[in-house]
Amino acid sequence: MRPDALGEPSWRAAAAAHAERADALTAVWRQAHDAGRKHAIEDFLFTYYPTRPGQLRRWHPGPGVVLEVAPDDERLGWRWYRRVETAGGAGVTLDVEAFVAARGETVRYVRSLVGATASRPGTFGCFGLHEWAMVYQDAEKGRDHRHPLPLRLGGSGTDAVVESHRITCSHIDAFRFFTPEARDRNQLRPTRERQVAMEQPGCLHANMDLYKWCLKLGPAAPGDLLLDAFELARDIRYTDMQASPYDVTSYGLESLAIETPEGKAEYVRRQRQFAERAQTLRRRLLVLCEALPA
């Protein structure tokens, strides 16, 4: 019997608060989606990271927490949960052994990548030029842009920014979208095989990816950790697009002109703030991974 189980009124209140927070965080995207409109900024959070608001609304307590439930509660049938007996009757908890048996490789990889990234100092001189490199010479070659937005400086102006700056992108999942003409301009050569060795905590995309790693850990990731990671990814995504070559004023946003000294300074200020938030999430993810002995 488990006398330390979380009573149903308590955990249901936590689950309801979680769903309410998830709804608030996804409200902009859901409004656009329900109206059949694309959202050039927030679509990324639901396509590159394939998930849906319903998945974010589902609350999980994380490993080691027992919930008192009614005998017919749907959680008794959820994947990777198991029934236990509590002082109040039926209970349910994450089946850590079954989860690790199925997802052990994922747990090990997340622990390795997140731990290695957390151990390094951040670098803050990239100025978001990865987005510029993704459209470099597109206009000249007659190619379509990645997003249905005009280029703030036009094609030639965008290319001039790329050509006048030093590009130092360390993130493979940004680098792989560089145009062919931009790839040799990058001073680094990130690869999937070297991701653990190269990822660093100043990188906006590495910090957004903390949301991906929470998704990969599924029901093992406590609800507050998942939504904190999503909120960070959403905040970073807005800065990522404001600092990009695209004109985002149609979304009521000011562009972050990284081609100017003032724009660079503001980009680095935000980048450092995001890095601090991300390092806190990395520490929490590592604690979670330690609770999943893989």
- DSSP per position, 15-84: HHHHHHHHHHHHHHHHHHHHTT---TTTTHHHHTTT--HHHHH-----TT-EEE--TT-GGGGSTTEEEE
Mean pLDDT of 225-244: 98
Mean pLDDT value across the chain? 94
Q: List phi, psi (to 5°) of 83.
A: -80, 140
Please, what is the Cα angle at 144 between 207 and 26, to 5 degrees? 40
SS3 116: helix
Q: What is the pTM of this model?
A: 0.95
Mean per-residue pLDDT, 183-204: 96
Placement of tokens 């102006």 in the chain: 157
Q: Look at 1 and 118; give whichever has higher pLDDT.
A: 118
| pLDDT tier, 160 (very low <50, low <70, confident <90, very high otherwise) | very high
Sorted by sequence, the CB contacts under 8 Å of residue 245 that are 6+ apart come out as 131, 132, 135, 151, 152, 153, 158, 161
Residue 27's pLDDT is what? 98
User: Is the pLDDT score of 262 beyond 90?
Assistant: yes
With a cut of 70, say whether residue 134 has pLDDT above it.
yes
In this prediction, residue 294 carries a pLDDT of 66
**Would the pLDDT of 288 be above 90?**
yes
**CB within 8 A of 173, min separation 6: which ones?**
205, 209
Which 3 state secondary structure label does DSSP give 152? coil
pLDDT band at 2 (very low <50, low <70, confident <90, very high): low
Burial class (CB in 10 A: 0-12, 13-18, 19+), 235: middle
- 1: confidence class by pLDDT, cuts 50, 70, 90: very low
Determine which of 83-87, 106-110, 204-208, 260-264 has the lowest per-residue pLDDT on average.
83-87
Q: What angle do CA 133, 138, 140 make, to 5 degrees?
A: 125
Residue 143 confidence (pLDDT): 78
Has residue 175 got a pLDDT over 90? yes
Strand order in the sheet with 81-86: 66-68, 89-94, 81-86
Tell me what pLDDT residue 20 has. 98
Kindly tell me if the per-residue pLDDT of 80 is higher than 70.
Answer: yes
Average pLDDT for 152-156: 95
pLDDT of 72 strictly over 90: no
